[in-house]
Amino acid sequence: MNKRLSLLLRICGPALVCAGLLVILGMAGCGRTASPPWNLLNITGHVPALEFTLTRDDGQSVTQKSYLGEPVLLYFGYTHCRDVCPTTLADLATALRQLGPAANQVRVLFVSVDPARDTPAVLKSYVNHFGPWFVGLTGTQAQLAALTQRLRVAYQLGEPDAHGDYEVYHSSVVFIFDRQGNARLLANQSDKPELIATDLKRLLAE
């Protein structure tokens, strides 16, 4: 477990405070003793159910109820991210392609924590590069705070440079919820698409 916690500390970023999430994940380690074990980190019962009110990339206001009935992969990021975000989304797309037609039953929600630059139109153009299973979401600072605080993750805007550009430090983990919106699994950068696909197949079969 110490090795996994060290990995999560490394991927969260130097400016990100995610102590609350790490405590939860430390508690969730006991879930991996279940038989058969999941490939990903089992967070069942240790992370709240999916709940949010945000704006979709088509401009419509949506809540978690819009995605009940299908497993949801939730990832926080922003479209100006240079490497971590596109790499993570590409890996998720690879995992979903391995599901074949069943991938259409899964939804990937890419939640931008940079609403000032990531308008619904910008998000729609961005997520369309990764596949039809991806949906871009954004919201007000209050709406984003409600969701990130609920899941005990954090993000931080960097200082703008001379051109007004800035980076956003954020968690790079992927929360996976079942058809009822319950938090079940957590994936990180070290988890291969093949492992994610295997667990998604099992989740879809429930």
Q: What is the pLDDT of residues 103-144, one digit of tens each?
A: 999 999 999 999 999 999 999 999 999 999 999 999 999 999
Note the pLDDT of residue 32: 44
pLDDT in tens, 37-90: 999 999 999 999 999 999 999 999 999 999 999 999 999 999 999 899 999 999
- The CATH number given to 2-205 is 3.40.30.10
Q: Which residues pair with 95 in a beta bridge?
A: none
pTM of the model: 0.82
CA–CA gap between residue 52 and residue 159 (Å, rounded): 28
Q: Which residues pair with 110 in a beta bridge?
A: 75, 136
Mean pLDDT computed over every residue of the chain = 86
Distances from the Cα of 99 to the Cαs of 68, 75, 171, 184, 196, in angstroms? 20, 19, 26, 19, 10
Which run of H or of E encompasses 112? Answer: strand 107-112
CA–CA gap between residue 175 and residue 147 (Å, rounded): 12
Note the pLDDT of residue 96: 98
Domain boundaries, the chain: 2-205
CA–CA gap between residue 122 and residue 106 (Å, rounded): 22
Q: What is the mean pLDDT of residues 7-26?
A: 44
